[in-house]
Chains A and B, each alone.
Chain A
Amino acid sequence: MALNLDDIKRIAHLARIQVSDSEAQETLTKLSGILGLIEQMQAVDTTGITPMSHSQDVTQRLREDVVTKTNQRELFQSIAPATQDGLYLVPKVIE
């Protein structure tokens, strides 16, 4: 499927990446090239083949529901862009 500029804007919005009008054209060209490469897959008949999500057929391990980590809030928040009273600060989302 061929992409257009509106698609680029839509995908960029979904990915939460701002793309300016001038960048969008360049992005469209590069992404179209990559999708052209990916299109080679469509020639393969994959009827009945089980998708492989992982190289090892292992099941998730379970563990006892007990506390294993200590609280390190101050350490982790020391590298945050903005905090206050132990909370992460973001722009107001509720009026």
Chain B
Amino acid sequence: MINSSLKQLGQQLAGKQVSSVELTQAYLQRMAQLNPTINAYVTIDEDKTLAQAKAADARIAAGDFGPLTGIPLAQKDIFCAKGWRTTCSSKMLENFISPYDAHVISQFDAAGAVNLGKTNMDEFAMGSSNETSYFGGVKNPWDFDRVPGGSSGGSAAAVAARLCAAATGTDTGGSIRQPASLCGFTGLKPTYGLVSRYGMIAFASSLDQAGPMAKSAEDCALMLNVMAGFDERDSTSVNREKEDYTRGLAAMQGEQPLKGLRIGLPKEYFAEGLNAEVAKVIETAIAEYKKLGAEIVDISLPNNNLSIPVYYVLAPAEASSNLSRYDGVRYGHRAAEYNDLLDMYMKSRAEGFGAEVKRRILIGTYVLSAGYYDAYYLKAQQIRRLIAQDFVEAFKHCDVIMGPAAPSTAFKAGEKTSDPVAMYLEDLYTIAVNLAGLPGMSIPAGFAQSSDGKALPVGLQLIGNYFDEARMLEIGHAYQQVTDWHTRMPEGIA
């Protein structure tokens, strides 16, 4: 059961071979057993969860159901869910009970999916290892000494340890794709604007995008069918027709289903900084794609190395503005003692935010401050255009871009916490995609040996053109028809 696809689970529910309550209880049992060690979930509320499962069973009995009705999912704790504690893994929101639902949550509710709980994450999604969480780190199910990646680390561990059928994540600079790579599953960051940001706690609004984290491309397609869609409550939600992201999957069979597909390999993604063992896995995966009929095109993204400096101006600038709302007045943490209003603000924010969040607010405040705006913020926005234009040029020569999702496999907890800049380099292959607003995906492509002899998962990144998610999912699915990396499970979680 725990390794079943969403489609298989849906068929078993529809065929009454299993009820949603039974399925949900099985996951809750696994969570009770494994979560105290893995720390993937920060909030579990069995009563609420089981009430949803019962409601789903009633819908199925009444014949009013869809592909995800009754399926137990994990929700990243960045999505407001009415009546649920919603913390963004921050002390600032430790006791925040959301009075409303995020768009993504209401979409899953309408689809009849079951919410298993809220997953751990880097505080306010700022981190690449889940170690900035106020609620502690998350263990990588493949090796408990290692991090799951971040910021969607709890959702990542929950998918990898089969503590949910699938999960949601958000990706501002790589927070779906890098953990998908480090934990060995399929994660998709859609085109900016495809999934509504309403009720998704803001970090860097021009980059934040929600997406599915699941075992396979097919599962991600089913999840995206529910998540995507226009929402007038998000001013950047794109008003376009609904698509069925599963529509082309069935055709990905037989000899060379990808005949004629042009895969661009950016030379910058295979340069210095990429672990040699990871590079081998990626090359083997590309060879598999050739067998499926694809052609390889050498391309260049010459400004890729600038994506990290640009991101660490723009994302903190937007964050410093977004996080100014946490002032201890209307909700969130307020210091116990203070002399006056200013003192209350300064103490509440000093106590409520963790070290990495404070650093990013300070950087953002600095680059936006009088006298520095042009040198930092404007300059970064200009280079952002150069980075986006690199992709426009590249897509004249190829249909999809491939490369690693992360420079190495999962690293050990504590290894990079003392050096923020070393941690930032984790997102070398993912950030440019957010800056350009393109869709990106990571699929399991094999395992690489660590220096201490552990076999750890490696993700292959696919970057598509704007709104090309359906094609990317087909390309991922074609690979998953001839490989079984996406079905592998860590030892010791069964």
Q: What residues make up the interface of A, taking CB atoms closer than 8 Å to B?
A: 3, 7-8, 11-19, 27, 30-31, 33-42, 44, 46, 49-56, 58, 60-61, 63, 72, 75-76, 78-82, 88, 90-93
Contacts and interface: CB of A to CB of B under 8 A. Distances in A.
Contacts of B324: 16
Contacts of A31: 359, 362-363, 366
- Which are the 5 A-B pairs with shortest beta-carbon distances? A55-B437, A51-B381, A52-B385, A81-B334, A46-B382
Contacts of A40: 305-306, 309
26 contacts: A15-B320, A15-B361, A17-B361, A18-B349, A34-B312, A34-B424, A38-B309, A40-B309, A41-B380, A42-B375, A44-B306, A44-B386, A50-B382, A52-B388, A54-B206, A55-B435, A55-B436, A56-B437, A60-B235, A75-B99, A76-B99, A79-B96, A80-B330, A80-B331, A91-B341, A91-B344
Interface in B332-358: 332-334, 338-347, 349-350, 353, 358
A38 B376 contact: yes
Contacts of B238: 56, 58
Given A17-B349, A17-B362, A49 B306 contact: no
A33 B320 CA distance: 19
B330 A76 contact: yes
Contact of B353 (A3, A17, A37): A17
Contact residues of B: prevailing secondary structure? helix
A13 B380 CA distance: 24
B267 interface: no
A37 B385 contact: no
B97 A16 contact: no
B481 interface: no
Contact of A14 (B235, B365, B376): B365
Contacts of A82: 334
B220 to A, nearest CB: 21
B327 interface: yes
A17 B382 CA distance: 30
A19 B349 CA distance: 10
B350 A34 contact: no
A38 B362 CA distance: 14
A40 B309 CA distance: 7
Contacts of B347: 18
A55 B379 CA distance: 16
A18 B350 contact: yes
A82 B320 CA distance: 25
Interface residues of B, number: 72
Given A11-B362, A38-B312, A91-B340, A51 B382 contact: yes
Contacts of A63: 232
B321 to A, nearest CB: 11
Nearest to B366: A11
A14 B369 contact: yes
Interface string B399-441: 0000000000000000000011100100000000001111000
A19 B358 CA distance: 10
B328 interface: yes
B193 interface: yes
A34 B382 contact: no
B248 to A, nearest CB: 25
B420 A33 contact: yes
A75 B345 CA distance: 23
Contact of B363 (A34, A92, A93): A34
Contact of B419 (A19, A33, A35, A60): A33
Given A44-B383, A88-B329, A72 B236 contact: no
B308 A37 contact: yes
Contact of A61 (B235, B367, B381): B235
Contacts of B327: 16
B122 to A, nearest CB: 16
B192 interface: yes
B384 interface: yes
A74 B316 CA distance: 34
Contacts of B436: 55
B192 A30 contact: no
A93 to B, nearest CB: 5
Given A15-B364, A81-B334, 14 more contacts: A16-B345, A19-B350, A31-B359, A35-B363, A37-B309, A38-B376, A40-B305, A40-B306, A42-B375, A44-B386, A49-B386, A79-B99, A88-B330, A91-B339
Nearest to A15: B365
Nearest to B206: A54
Contacts of B224: none
Contacts of B384: 51-52
Given A33-B421, A80-B331, A72 B99 contact: yes
A90 B329 contact: yes
A15 B316 CA distance: 12
B382 A49 contact: yes
Nearest to B93: A79
B359 A30 contact: yes
B217 interface: no
Contacts of A75: 99
B193 A56 contact: yes
